[in-house]
């Protein structure tokens, strides 16, 4: 991953501050995608990272107050974002690429992941690209080797795959666009494709291994809590169907409903409220 140090921005810039806020508001889509990436046998993302600020050394000459670094191997527990530094910092002597770092979710400045060369997220990058000339944007995008889309536009999730007609009428009239309801749904209302496609297998797995419904991982979390945090409606629904206890709390004291409310997953909130 190529970093973007060739373009600097003032931390006090209103557009950049708005980008930080937008990144925090939409981080849930990044985490939903990663929740499925970590379940895949074959990785589907070309990269996934978040940007966090780190205080620079007081003795560093001409250093800004904070250095903004991209982090990979991201984990999230509802409070802290953690991972590994992707690059060596310029103004922090105690950190090097690959070091494990963490910060409160309230410090998050950006997130992005890449599918088929297309960038999703990248709010701060979008803010900087908007101020560049066409030639500067071309140079920037070539340095990254990625498709960032139109200036000022931030993709959150891949567009739904259009449904196609089949049979005689399909041959006569060709393919049809995606259903209006699917294309007009807000990303937080739309189920992740893997969640839709793996429903039957997930249901079968819970029937065959009922202990998984109540299992707590090494961090003390249940599957219900993990999927509620990530916004995976179908797994949450199936776990409840198989008897998952929605009243259980994470080590920090949060229920699955608390986590869904925190991340603003309306369908899961409604589902868990109905289970009480």
Residue 249 lies in a domain: yes
Query: Does 207 lie in the same domain as 133?
Result: no
If one counts the domains in the chain, the total is 2
Per-residue confidence in pLDDT tens, the chain, 276 aa: 544 443 345 555 899 999 999 999 999 999 999 999 999 999 999 999 999 999 998 777 788 889 999 999 999 999 999 999 999 999 998 899 999 999 999 999 999 999 999 999 999 999 999 999 999 999 999 999 999 999 989 999 998 766 554 444 344 334 333 232 334 467 767 888 888 888 899 999 999 999 999 999 999 999 999 999 999 999 999 999 999 999 999 999 999 999 999 999 999 999 999 865
DSSP-H helix ranges across 38-158:
123-131, 134-144
Q: Which of 105, 120, 144 is the last residue of a domain?
A: 144
Asked if residue 154 is part of any domain, the answer here is: no
> For residue 276, what pLDDT is reported?
58
Question: Could you tell me if residue 121 is inside a domain?
Answer: yes
Please write the tens of the pLDDT for every residue from 249-271.
Answer: 999 999 999 999 999 999 999 99
What are the strands, taking DSSP E only, across 15-163? 47-55, 66-76, 80-85, 100-104, 110-115, 118-121
CB 272 within 8 A of CB 241: no
Q: Is residue 158 part of a domain?
A: no
In this structure, the answer to whether residues 138 and 63 fall within a common structural domain is yes
Q: What is the pTM of this model?
A: 0.86
pLDDT at 121: 98
pLDDT of residue 172: 37
Distance, C-alpha 21 to centroid of its chain: 15
Within a domain: residue 155?
A: no
d(CA 158, CA 29): 11
CB 63 within 8 A of CB 56: yes
Instruction: Tell me whether residue 134 is in a domain.
Output: yes
Residue where a domain terminates, one of 112, 144, 176: 144
Give the C-alpha separation, 198 to 29, whole Å: 19
Residue 209 maps to a domain? yes
Domain end residue (candidates: 144, 159, 178)? 144
Domain range enclosing 119: 14-144
What pLDDT, on a 0 to 100 scale, did the predictor assign at position 180? 27
Asked if 136 and 45 sit in the same domain, the reply is: yes
Statement to judge: residues 73 and 136 lie in one domain: yes
* Rounded Cα gap, residues 270 and 208, in angstroms: 28
Q: To 5 degrees, how large is the angle CA 225–CA 231–CA 232? A: 85
Residues 121 and 237 in one domain: no
7 located within any domain: no
- Is residue 31 located within the same domain as residue 110? yes
Check residue 275 and give its pLDDT: 64
């Amino acid at each position: 991953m190529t970093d973007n140090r060739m373009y600097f921005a003032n931390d006090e810039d209103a557009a950049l501050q708005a980008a930080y806020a937008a990144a925090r508001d939409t981080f849930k889509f990044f985490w939903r995608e990663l929740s499925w990436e970590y379940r895949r046998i074959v990785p589907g993302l070309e990269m996934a990272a978040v940007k966090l600020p780190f205080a620079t050394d007081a003795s560093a000459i001409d250093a800004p107050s904070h250095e903004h670094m991209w982090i990979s191997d991201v984990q999230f527990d509802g409070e802290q974002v953690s991972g590994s530094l992707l690059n060596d910092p310029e103004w922090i002597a105690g950190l090097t690429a690959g070091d494990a770092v963490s910060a409160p979710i309230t410090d998050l400045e950006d997130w992005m992941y890449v599918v088929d060369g297309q960038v999703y997220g990248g709010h701060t990058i979008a803010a900087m690209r908007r101020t560049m000339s066409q030639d500067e944007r071309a140079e920037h995008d070539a340095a990254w080797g990625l498709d960032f889309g139109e200036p000022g536009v931030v993709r959150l999730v891949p567009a739904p795959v259009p449904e196609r007609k089949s049979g005689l009428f399909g041959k006569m009239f060709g393919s049809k666009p995606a259903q209006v309801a699917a294309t007009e749904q807000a990303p937080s209302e739309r189920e992740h494709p893997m969640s839709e496609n793996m429903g039957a297998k997930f249901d079968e797995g819970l029937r065959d291994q009922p202990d998984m419904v109540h299992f707590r991982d090494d961090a003390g979390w249940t599957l219900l809590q993990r999927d509620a945090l990530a916004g995976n409606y179908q797994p949450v629904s199936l776990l409840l169907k198989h008897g998952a206890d929605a009243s259980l709390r994470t080590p920090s004291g949060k229920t699955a409903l608390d986590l869904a409310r925190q991340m603003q997953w309306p369908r899961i909130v409604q589902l868990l409220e109905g289970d009480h």
